[in-house]
Structure 1
Amino acid sequence: MVVRIDRVFTRGGDKGETSLGDGTRLSKSDLHIEAIGMLDETNAIVGALRAHLDAGENDLSARLKDVQNLLFDMGGDLCMPEGNERAKRVGEGVLPALEKEIERLRAFQEPLTSFVLSGGSPAASWAHLARTTVRKAERSLVALSRKTAINPILVPILNRLSDYFFVVSRHLNEDGRKDILWQPGHSFFSQEG
């Protein structure tokens, strides 16, 4: 599919509305637009993660670019309401591919003995931000699915993507060796006296 964008601004959204792919006008505060926006926000964070990868992470960068394309496809899927014959829907084949990639990365990581705090390397921190933003996008799509029909595979894909970004964060912290582990009750704020 070839996309041509001749203008950046159209003035079509100046009154707080925007259009879906079929021309339906919605408020920019509509759950549908919020869900599409959350996928876009996630995509931007994945781009920032890619920008923070070390030079030797070419394979991961390529995988993350694939994730960015998937997120854009998911936004395109949401942009065309269910029942529209012109829509190209994201298919169920995404889940096994994601699960295979999660297991490939996880195979190098020691089992966890505690929850992991966000942090470690800058790239791992961006992966944690991607993970939490995917969770936010997932909540947004669940809310939308309560209001209108959406492609049912989109929510499970986001659920799996949050797992993916978790193992990516551990990969970027030397496969978990530089993870920062949660220590319950061990903070300055929980100390008495």
Structure 2
Amino acid sequence: MPIYTKGGDKGTTSLYDGQRVKKDSLRVETYGTFDELNANISLADKLCVSPKNKAILQRVEYKMFFLQGEIATQDTKKFLENSRVISDEDVHGLERVIDQYTAELPKVTSFILPGASLAGAQLHVCRTVCRRAERQFVRFSADVAVRPVLERYVNRLSDFLYIMARSEDHEAQIKQITDEVIKRYAQAMGR
């Protein structure tokens, strides 16, 4: 079975509820940018040094499907009846990670370069894509009623990605120092 349907050959696409809209609509642009963000988060989780960070990012990747699905539905009631949705607990989950990592990581007193490690740099890419998606979401929600929990989730997401980037940079720095100590020890022992 081919993956193409030819349904979009005239510049329209189907939403979750089956309604067709122009491919350049703000709705499609918004959920498409969150899709771009999710692909970038997936790449970041593959680059992470910390297994804990990988697991956290993978949970967020699944939550992104619910966010995108709800945005990709004009008949929100139909989506809410048939799908899992972003909840207050999801917002609180992001906040718990942000609060915990902020307390554990060294204090930042100035601007930082976006990524001292490969995973950190990719997470900063995620953060900037998230900010763009958030700006589109704000424009979208000015014309379309959205559940307030979505606004809160989207608003927390870029802060979450920032703290994850800092965590990965910190983990990479610890690994680099540890590797250097082991190397010097081995040299001193004549190995």
TM-score (norm 2): 0.82
Among 153, 157, 162, the alignment partner of 1:157 is 153
Which residue pairs with 1:168 in the alignment? 164
- The answer on whether the counterparts of 2:37 and 2:126 sit within 8 Å (CA) in structure 1 is yes
1:101 deviates by: 1.1
Which residue pairs with 1:76 in the alignment? 69
Opposite residue 103 of structure 1, the aligned amino acid is D
- The 5 Å alignment of 1:1-193 reads 7-54=2-49, 57-87=50-80, 88=83, 89-174=85-170
CA distance change for structure 1 residues 40 and 125 in 2, over 3 Å: closer, same or farther?
A: same
What secondary structure does 1:116 align onto? coil
1:12 deviates by: 0.9
Give unmatched runs, 5+ long, in structure 1: 1-5, 179-193
Q: Name the CA distance, whole Å, in 2 between partners of 1:113 and 1:90.
A: 33
- The answer on whether the counterparts of 2:17 and 2:78 sit within 8 Å (CA) in structure 1 is no
Structure richer in helix, relative to its length = 2
Moved over 4 A (4+): 175-178
**Percent identity among equivalent residues?**
32
- The answer on whether the counterparts of 2:134 and 2:154 sit within 8 Å (CA) in structure 1 is yes
What secondary structure does 1:84 align onto? helix
What secondary structure does 2:13 align onto? strand
Opposite residue 168 of structure 1, the aligned amino acid is M
- The answer on whether the counterparts of 2:124 and 2:165 sit within 8 Å (CA) in structure 1 is yes
What secondary structure does 1:23 align onto? coil
What secondary structure does 1:117 align onto? coil
Q: Name the CA distance, whole Å, in 2 between partners of 1:83 and 1:120.
A: 41
Backbone CA RMSD of aligned residues: 1.9
1:86 deviates by: 4.2
Q: Which has the larger radius of gyration?
A: 2
1:10 deviates by: 0.9
Q: Report the number of matched residues.
A: 171
Q: Name the CA distance, whole Å, in 2 between partners of 1:75 and 1:19.
A: 14
What secondary structure does 1:67 align onto? helix
TM-score (norm 1): 0.82
- The answer on whether the counterparts of 2:70 and 2:76 sit within 8 Å (CA) in structure 1 is no
Opposite residue 51 of structure 1, the aligned amino acid is K
Opposite residue 77 of structure 1, the aligned amino acid is E
**1:31-73 deviation per Cα after TM superposition (whole angstroms, max 9, x unaligned):** 000111011000000011112123xx22211110101001111
What secondary structure does 2:21 align onto? strand
Give unmatched runs, 5+ long, in structure 2: 175-191
1:119 deviates by: 2.4
